Amino acid sequence: MNGIGAQFQATLDLVDQLTASERAFREVAEEVVRHLRASYPHYTWVGIYMVEGEGLRLWAWDGPAPTEHVEIPLHAGVCGWAASTGQIANVPDVNKDERYLQCFLSTRSELVVPIRHGEEVYGEIDIDSDRLAAFGPEDERFLTELCDRLGALAAAQGLVGHRPGA
């Protein structure tokens, strides 16, 4: 399974089914965030932000409360950094990262993985956890594979992306 556990693989299989359906990207995103939060206890809040113009807009989320950050400029915060560089941001302690834009007092760590296809970044998955250092390499590998699938869907549906460094 490419070094990915059975639960992660089951989620990827579900995402494959969703992306193969005729659903719009936003509908797929809503299903994905609900599934991730329900299936992985250390994923306290899950959001999908998509590139719109010079920023990111929240398209789907699941968690105990909404975030005030429904729009984030590229280059701002951990999310903006990940989208503008195309790199994963795994922050084990948000209180020690100057890029962090606080959403919830309970958040201790954050993982942001770009949704990309080829050179284009279409958005990202943003996951908060109430645990310190909640996300390991297995979460990064799993979410990279998941985001690759979402990136292919975004490209196929003609969504607008952003080229890191451009």
Q: What is the mean pLDDT of residues 68-72?
A: 85
pLDDT digits (tens, 9 = 90+) for 79-91: 888 888 999 999 9
Q: Model pTM?
A: 0.91
Residue 14, pLDDT above cutoff 90:
yes
- Confidence at residue 81, expressed as pLDDT on a 0 to 100 scale: 86
Q: Exposed (0-12), middle (13-18) or buried (19+): which is 124, by Cβ within 10 Å?
A: buried
Which of 41, 42, 37, 39 minimizes the C-alpha distance to 63?
A: 37
Fold annotation for 6-156: Beta-Lactamase (3.30.450)
- Confidence at residue 139, expressed as pLDDT on a 0 to 100 scale: 95
- Confidence at residue 96, expressed as pLDDT on a 0 to 100 scale: 78
**In this structure, are residues 73 and 60 in contact, taking their beta carbons and an 8 Å threshold?**
no
pLDDT digits (tens, 9 = 90+) for 15-66: 999 999 989 999 999 999 999 999 999 999 999 999 998 899 999 999 998 8
Amino acid letter for position 155: A
Domain definitions of the chain by residue range: 6-156
Residue 1, pLDDT above cutoff 50:
no
Q: How far apart are CA 89 and CA 111, in angstroms?
A: 6
Q: How confident is the model at residue 67 (pLDDT cuts 50, 70, 90)?
A: confident
